A = this chain, B = another copy of it.
């Protein structure tokens, strides 16, 4: 069969094709890498006009990753989509012996217990365990609207420690649109917090992981 087999050429051609589409012109330069990877992850260029952000999420995530921050993910899918070698490379460049750690507490036994006790999703219960890990962290939510809602409750109403940046990209039909709207509306109260989101139903674990990977990539 006739197809491009070489991984380096595939990646370079993908990025060149995305650039040639000229769909990123309305975004500030510092958002281009994130937007490019998000589109690459889902194959849908039409998400670009739906991207919203606050602060400089690329710089915030890159700096947190260089400092070996926690990368807190709502699902194992997101956690397994975050590439590890660039995390090590960015920490090493910055002279840190400890690279950023990717963490997901969804399968922590406490999440199952808490979820059943409170009749909440295991995703939200997993987020309720985040506070000791949250200071300066990179948050990547790619599945559950309830995870993003629970995080915002903690930040706005329970004085949780502040993460450095939120990739708030839950997906779906019940709560996804609303949870991302709540993130957008929290920008005034959480003015030192950078974030990226997509308005509407679209999102997902691959898009969330890709956004994180955009900020750790060699440049």
Contacts and interface: CB of A to CB of B under 8 A. Distances in A.
Contact of A182 (B1, B40, B122, B146): B1
A81 B77 CA distance: 6
A124 interface: yes
Contacts of A205: 77, 81, 205-206
A108 to B, nearest CB: 15
Nearest to A20: B173
B3 A178 contact: yes
Interface residues of A, number: 52
Q: Copy number of this protein in the oligomer?
A: 2
A122 B204 CA distance: 23
Contact of A40 (B13, B17, B42, B172): B172
A119 B5 contact: yes
B41 A204 contact: yes
A184 to B, nearest CB: 14
Nearest to A12: B174
Interface string A200-217: 111111100100000000
A132 interface: no
Given A42-B202, A42-B204, A81-B205, A17 B174 contact: yes
Contact of A6 (B76, B119, B179): B119
Interface of A: 1, 3-7, 10, 13-14, 17-18, 40-44, 75-77, 79-81, 115, 118-122, 124, 143, 145-146, 149, 152-153, 171-176, 178-179, 182, 200-206, 209
